Structure 1
Amino acid sequence: MKVWIFFVLLVAGHAMAAPEPEVGTNPVQVEVGDFDEAIDVEEETVEDIVDNPCLNYHCKKGKVCEVDEGNTPMCVCQDPSTCPPADAEFEHVCGTDNKTYDSSCHFFATKCALEGTKKGHKLHLDYIGPCKYIETCLDSELNEFPLRMRDWLKNVLVTLYERDEDNNLLTEKQKLRVKKIYENEKRLQAGDHSLDLLAHDFEKNYNMYIFPVHWQFGQLDQHPVDGYLTHTELAPLRAPLIPMEHCTTRFFEECDSDSDKYIALEEWASCFGLKEQDVDKDLII
């Protein structure tokens, strides 16, 4: 977890501040388990499982496995005091209650204890790092955000394609689509481009951006795969970006145009400037 978060912060910061992704990985590759999903448990032998049913029992973040009097495993809220102490500042996380937690473990343990309450329902992981003052996102700045984000997504895919010999970073169908972008002589190379150039390139080479926008939606829509993005599903992308891109929260809030707490593919595509006729669920590979 420590390595992933640090790695993601470096990539997200470099890619959004200056759109030349030195590493070129995708922030959604941060372990989704740290944003509300089941804890991975190593496989054990049958004998081990019989002796301790919790060895192969999965609990969501913030919960741990215990056995009752009948030796039946069950998930209970973890005591925050049992979480390992943070070794570095980047392990801290900020909740939507504007409170800094020592680590994601401390955060989810606290959220679990509030389960079933109004406060617990509203509490989410906001971003990685200690809570800090986030500047107000102006309308003009909000309009600039998708320019950088689109270009970044395109460059992330191109870099994954370049490095994906036997790493299974992309599926074969994804490789075919990215190959067309990679080999296009008109493709704007990664670099520290002006907003005017990014806007011009989007207008002239619009088709190169259609698949990257769909691809990112598919990467996030995982728990469950239902064609909608929730706050939890957005967290792996939002959390590393908010401390460096102060328009991140407002951008995703306004993507939810009908304010139903879910971002549909059509809403997502519209936020990134795609035309309605180019929204294609078949591109979510």
Structure 2
Amino acid sequence: MNPVQIRATVDLYPGSRPSPGGGVHRPEAPADPCDNFPCKRGKTCKLDADKKPGCVCQEPADCPHSANQFDNVCGTNNKTYDTSCELFATKCNLEGTKRGHRLHMDYTGPCKFIPQCVETELVQFPLRMRDWLKNVLLQLFEHDSMSPGFLTPKQRFRVKKIFESERRLHAGDHSVELLAQDFEKNYNMYIYPVHWQFAQLDQHPSDRILSHSELAPLRVPLVPMEHCTSRFFQECDADKDKQVSFKEWTSCFGIKNDDMDVNLLF
């Protein structure tokens, strides 16, 4: 909706006057105070009695219906919601209750059976995750070489070293044993990818702490493919404060304390 709307009828309004060209000048409709008024997911803008904008919980029934199953999401209560809008509106209306506090988006798509993550699989998860992060950065480097803009100059400088290394393990379906050996032999190649992913997620706000909502862009798409995802990030939260700090993140991925470098986050 535009900030200023022009009434498009031919009727004259009180106070209308002829324009210099002989036509009719129609007064501009006042701007809607709710236009561009920010509300978090699950809430919508509404004017109070004094015509001041504020955020109130959206009704789940008012959310647009999904066109197909790709719009469905699974909540942490193992219930399939038609859209993410419906889930967050439901969560908002449960605000202040245990059910509302525990309800989050678990993963995209309808709810399905997710196998239990056992200890041996949990140990393997960071090996695959580190390798994946490294390869994502290498793909961005290649795209940036053809069409600049995918990486900043500082990021490009860091990734170039990994890209040009003759020792790097190329993308592929590698065994857990090989991934473990490569991490031990080429440890330095994995330091920056782990820092980079943290910085990509730490945006709202950038405070070196990842909230549940900040983790969601990485966690939500991974859960259906990697069933240890949720447990891995739960284990990362060592002090159980519902957030993952920079130190907890690097520790989860096997980065040594001496190699934690806040300068790599920028």
TM-score (norm 1): 0.81
Which residue, 267, 271, 280 being the options, matches 2:248?
Answer: 267
Residue in structure 2 matched with residue 68 of structure 1 by the alignment:
48
Residue in structure 1 matched with residue 183 of structure 2 by the alignment:
202
Residue in structure 1 matched with residue 93 of structure 2 by the alignment:
113
Residue in structure 2 matched with residue 99 of structure 1 by the alignment:
79
1:167–1:76 Cα change, 3 Å: farther
How many residue pairs get matched? Answer: 244
Alignment partners' CA distance in 2, 1:78 and 1:260? 28
Residue in structure 2 matched with residue 29 of structure 1 by the alignment:
none
Q: Contact 1:93–1:100 (CA<8 Å) still a contact in 2?
A: yes
**Superposed counterparts of 1:132-143, under 5 Å:** 132-143=112-123
Q: Which amino acid aligns with 1:260?
A: D
Residue in structure 2 matched with residue 211 of structure 1 by the alignment:
192
1:191 equivalent to 2:172? Answer yes
1:260–1:68 Cα change, 3 Å: closer
1:107–1:160 Cα change, 3 Å: same
Quote how far apart the aligned CAs of 1:118 are: 2.4
SS class of match (2:162): helix
RMSD: 1.8
Cα deviation, 1:161-212, whole Å, max 9, x if unaligned, reads 1112545222111111011111111111111111111111111111000000
The structure whose RCO (Cα within 8 Å, separation 6+) is larger is: 1
1:50–1:178 Cα change, 3 Å: farther
1:139–1:109 Cα change, 3 Å: same
Q: Which runs of 5+ in 1 are unaligned?
A: 1-41
Q: Which runs of 5+ in 2 are unaligned?
A: 7-27
Q: Which amino acid aligns with 1:185?
A: E
SS class of match (2:216): helix
Cα deviation, 1:135-181, whole Å, max 9, x if unaligned, reads 11111111111111000000000101111254522211111101111
**Superposed counterparts of 1:17-96, under 5 Å:** 44-45=3-4, 50-96=30-76
Residue in structure 2 matched with residue 179 of structure 1 by the alignment:
160
Q: Contact 1:154–1:212 (CA<8 Å) still a contact in 2?
A: yes
> Larger C-alpha radius of gyration, 1 or 2?
2
Alignment partners' CA distance in 2, 1:252 and 1:152? 16
1:49–1:183 Cα change, 3 Å: farther
Residue in structure 1 matched with residue 222 of structure 2 by the alignment:
241
Quote how far apart the aligned CAs of 1:50 are: 3.5
Alignment partners' CA distance in 2, 1:178 and 1:125? 32
Q: Contact 1:114–1:120 (CA<8 Å) still a contact in 2?
A: yes
Identity %: 61
1:46–1:203 Cα change, 3 Å: farther
Which moves more between the two structures, 146-155 or 164-173?
164-173
TM-score (norm 2): 0.86
Residue in structure 2 matched with residue 281 of structure 1 by the alignment:
262
Residue in structure 2 matched with residue 224 of structure 1 by the alignment:
205
1:75–1:202 Cα change, 3 Å: same
Cα deviation, 1:70-91, whole Å, max 9, x if unaligned, reads 3221211111111111112121
